[in-house]
């Protein structure tokens, strides 16, 4: 085993996921380098370059990090949440409601989403809403108030304030500048 492999395992380094897998001889289980299970004894570790190699070597899949899946569990959760937000951005959504919908703790949800995506759920939701507002401002004759309601804001004032903070101009100014 290379020192680089061991360091990736010991530090749960996500950047090595998919590049190799490690198996623990005593448990007969194989994992991703980023698996959060206890760091094994270095002498009990085998390295494999693919899932198939590890399975043919007689090892089982770790139920925690699921190395047999393309996305790790945290990435899969974030993917599902972003799909949910993309479909439901118009609704009144809170972190609590989203967590309830996915049947998970909202603090875990917040932490996992931010760790994987680099932004919070609410930042993602706001980004999605502003993106949609820009499309509507450019391609429709809807009033600012109507657009605010369509994209999920409770008031035009809140929408205008948020839009200005993000883009440095009001929705009306944006429409004037970017409309054909």
Task: Tell the residue number behind the tokens 């205008």, with chain if given.
Answer: 160
DSSP letter (8 states) at residue 24: E
Q: Strand, coil or helix: what is 100?
A: helix
By the 8 A CB rule, do 35 and 12 touch? yes
Which of 68, 2, 79 has its CA nearest to residue 35? 68
- Non-local CB neighbours of 48 within 8 Å, separated by 6+ positions: 20, 21, 22, 23, 30, 54, 57, 59
Which residues are designated catalytic?
A: 31
Radius of gyration of the chain (CA): 23
């Amino acid at each position: 085993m290379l020192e680089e492999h061991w360091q990736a395992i010991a530090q749960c380094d996500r950047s090595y996921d998919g590049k190799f897998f490690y198996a623990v001889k005593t448990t007969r289980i194989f994992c991703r380098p980023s698996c959060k299970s206890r760091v094994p004894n270095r002498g009990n570790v085998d390295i494999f370059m693919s899932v198939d190699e590890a399975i043919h070597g007689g090892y089982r899949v770790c139920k925690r990090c699921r190395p047999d899946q393309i996305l790790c569990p945290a990435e899969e959760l974030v993917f599902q949440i972003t799909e949910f937000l993309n479909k439901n951005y118009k609704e009144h959504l809170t972190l609590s409601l989203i967590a309830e919908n996915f049947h998970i703790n909202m603090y875990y949800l917040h932490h996992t989403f931010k760790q994987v995506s680099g932004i919070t759920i609410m930042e993602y939701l706001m980004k999605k809403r502003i993106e949609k507002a820009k499309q509507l401002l450019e391609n429709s004759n809807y009033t600012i108030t109507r657009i605010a309601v369509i994209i999920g804001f409770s008031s035009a004032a809140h929408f205008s304030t948020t839009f200005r903070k993000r883009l440095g101009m009001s929705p009306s100014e944006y429409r004037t500048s970017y409309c054909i």
